[in-house]
Amino acid sequence: MQQHFSGLWNLKLVSFDFLIPLMAIFFSLTITGCDEASYTPKPKGYFRIELPEKRYRVHAPQNCPFEFEIPDYSVMMNYKDSVKEPCWNYLNFPSLNGEIFLSYVPVQNDLPILTENSRTLAYKHTVKADAINESVVETNTGVYGIIYDIGGNAASSVQFYATDSSKHFIRGALYFNVPPQPDSLAPVIRFLRRDIEHMLSTIKWK
């Protein structure tokens, strides 16, 4: 009887010893599989943005000494006191979640100050910008200015000014109502920059 129980005990020990390495392998594979599932990088995705067809209409604000063409998919709105500053506006793009802030001031022998102020405001974004490029604007209708393309995570992607060098000065800045994401916003920035070029090329002073 003692031999019988001794044999059974040895059999159980052998069976248990055989299971230990199998269990170790099983848990090792399980943990490895979980780690791989947890740390597999996910592809970066972006929202698809539908860009509207480009069409323009003339914007000739009352009591302002200028007019220019703006996109049909935009809405011109006042953002200053309409009595004190009737020519301070912002061009809202509801479908693109962006705005171009526009301000007008008459030139009073202070053109160098106005242009330098515009440059200073553009270069305030240097901390977040990858680069700032300047493009000169000059039309055959007496419009001169500069467009500032501001790359990187800057709050404003494009700024500009336009003047006739003697009486009129318009400044503008493009902003989006979302955190700066240059990769996903790049198509919209390029799209609206063309609208800015069109606006500047169609300015007529009064």
Q: What is the dihedral of CA 32, 34, 36, 41, to 10 degrees?
A: -160
Distance in angstroms (rounded) separating the CA atoms of residues 26 and 8: 27
pLDDT attached to residue 3 = 47
Contact yes or no for 154/133 (Cβ under 8 A): no
3-state helix, strand, coil in the chain (%, to 5): 35, 30, 30
Q: Structure tokens of 176?
A: 């989006």
Distance in angstroms (rounded) separating the CA atoms of residues 92 and 77: 7
For the entire predicted model, the pTM comes to 0.75
- 129: how many CB neighbours lie within 10 A of its CB? 21
In the chain, which ranges are E strands? 56-59, 66-71, 75-78, 89-93, 98-106, 129-138, 144-152, 156-163, 168-176, 204-205
* Residue-by-residue pLDDT tens, the chain, 206 positions: 444 444 444 434 444 454 455 455 544 544 444 444 444 444 444 456 789 999 999 999 988 999 999 999 999 998 766 667 889 999 999 999 999 999 999 999 999 999 999 999 999 988 888 899 999 999 999 999 999 999 988 889 999 999 999 999 999 999 999 887 777 899 999 999 999 999 999 999 99
DSSP per-residue letters across 119-149: HHHHHGGGGTEEEEEEEEEE-TTS-EEEEEE
pLDDT attached to residue 85 = 81
pLDDT attached to residue 101 = 96
pLDDT attached to residue 13 = 44
Q: Between β-strands 204-205 and 156-163, what pairing exists: parallel, antiparallel or unpaired?
A: unpaired
What's the chain's length in residues?
A: 206
Q: Between β-strands 66-71 and 156-163, what pairing exists: parallel, antiparallel or unpaired?
A: unpaired
